[in-house]
Structure 1
Amino acid sequence: MDAKELLEKYRSGNCTAAEKAIVETWYLKFEQDTADPLTADELEQAADRIWIRLPIHEKPQRNLWPRIAGAAAVLLMLSAGVYFFKLPAHQLALLTQKEQAPQILPGGNKATLTLANGKKITLDGADNGQLAEQAGIIITKTKDGQLVYTVSDQGTHKEERQTAMNTIATPKGGQYQINLPDGTKVWLNAASSLRYPAVFTGSERRVSLTGEAYFEVAKIHPAKPFSVSSLTQTVEVLGTHFNINSYTDEQAVKTTLLEGSVKVTAQMGTSGSVFLKPGQQAVLLGNQLNVNLSNTEEAIAWKNGMFSFKDADLQTVMRAVSRWYDVEVSYEGNLPGRQFSGEIHRNINLSEVLDILSFFKVHFRIDGKKITVTK
């Protein structure tokens, strides 16, 4: 159902309770955000501008709607782009919930830490406080669910520290934050892993990443740069903030810089290296390494509790959903080649996310943790 169909149902009194809540929630938001009522002409002009920017819709016939329908129309049309998805979580709960569908919960702080001696610690099930000590390094879990490394003994275990490597891995439906021994902060997205030394020794700080992570690198002596290696590239920095998306099921590896500067080097082919400035993104597609301007808020939306899409195809959207809700996704029939733009909270149930995506005229069949997308 598109915006106009929903409003026609509202006008005729045929909305379900949840559909009525959607329209009236938008109307209340419109009242809060608008100092003066819009005239009918102003509403039509705003609607025209919105429809022009939304290629997935056909432009509706011009007609004058009552003020509540007009106000809700403008906001609901925007829903196909951005604003609908920015409803607070308690308002999103008003959306239709399919009674037959299982309530698949969103992901959370879940990860497994593997120490150099092979010991595995399930972090989401571990108590706060000290988890382990290795090579004079104390590993602590904070009350906020973060992992922190602290050097407890500078004078001993030097040789052991040089070879002690740890790995933190998140499952599908998990994320975690870790503070590395040098003070660097790393946020791991779902289905990702980071391999790093128990303490950084020598002339560099090197870690290895699979999946996606956001880094806030500690600024220390220039002679000890920080580098992140993934399957197809290496990112070298001194002290900066950046995001790397290197999932193997995505077409390209994307490195987005928020602060400082980084050097991105492709490990194969003849692409060589590129240097990024804040607001730029390196895109490694096959053997081609290019630099584009980037929406940094979109790149790190996952870290801030949101899905964020800009002209993304359906498969891209559903890969992100699959990783966060730990579900399998398949497709049935010839699906429309629409592009999706907007934001969705990551703290709502899967059924609510699918209800939102259904506004783009795609449908979903749920069987346990298997989602089939249909036309």
Structure 2
Amino acid sequence: MSFKVTMVFGTRPEAIKMAPLARVLRQRDDIDLHICSTGQHREMLQQVLDSFELEVDEDLDVMTQGQTLNGLSEQLMNKLDASYARRRPDIVLVHGDTTTSFIAALTAFHLQIPIAHVEAGLRTGDLKAPWPEEANRSLTAVIADLHFPPTKKSRDNLLHENISIDKIEVTGNTVIDALLWMRQHLHDTDWHPAADSPLAVLDSDKRMVLITGHRRENFGKGFERICLALAELAEAYPDVQFVYPVHLNPQVQNAVYGLLAGRPNIHLIAPQDYQHFVWLMDRAYLILTDSGGIQEEAPALGKPLLVLRKVTERPSVLEGGTVLLVGTLQHRIVEETRRLLDDPEHYADMSRVHSPFGDGHASERIAERLSLWLVEHRQGGAAE
């Protein structure tokens, strides 16, 4: 007995978190996996797929210049509607909180195709923070048939929203599966960036601060304050290397390069593929980010993390004392970064390994529950 499963993703973070699950599903005889890429972050997406030795089965190629969220949603729904009609999957797998995830789920719902939601149940309680992600994941939960929350807190969020317990399986997060697999691979192969890589110029004897940023709610003044804080820190700490892989979004690029280009100890580089980025995280002294996934990855590596957001949908990371919400105010970013750079005791307190998001086996748990649900669902349909 074989089941047709369609996995939909479009952004780099989605691909990183779905890749280990895709590898597990493709090893199973009872699953016929079809990977559908929306092409939302094509260049960065391909880097991830190459790192995990995966290929997509279908590329919807939905992105256009200056596209709005509504324009993207229209394109996604039209193309996914046709894809699902051709493929007729037994279930659609979506991940997290992107526009791709919600529209992929909604299109499946309209066609009465069951939906499984990986990384379900994350909540801030504020539909505007992060925007539009909080709405995307909350709306997906309403129509999903299976929910795979990473933690008990995420499960409790779903229960409070009246999701039935028999539709929920706490699995840990697949991002930890991906991270631990890649770090071990890098260590086993003694992997280093090539001589022509921008990372090859980094001095291993100097401390390195890693920065990422791409959240829509930080566009404009938020990114301006973040960049001004980094400029102040770079001037105050000339022997510290600040490495910033700059997201391809023009609003991010314009702000970052406009305010930080030309500073000798700030390395503005292109977005890195997954193995290069894990190498950077593993060697970072501390990390500043507004990313969601890095809030899970950094603590698992024992790296102090300052989150450039007002709220987090991952409150579990704050309990370990290795992650701190600092927002986007310039003085706060500078103050907390300086404290980590100047106070060895404080740094030691924040550089402990803390991994509430799993043990690296989330993908196996998801695959097993998914298979059981599909069998039960088919048998139930036959009985009717």
Identify whether the pair has TM-score above 0.5, normalized to the shorter chain: no
State TM-score, norm by structure 2: 0.28
Higher helix share: 2
Max Rg structure: 1
State TM-score, norm by structure 1: 0.28
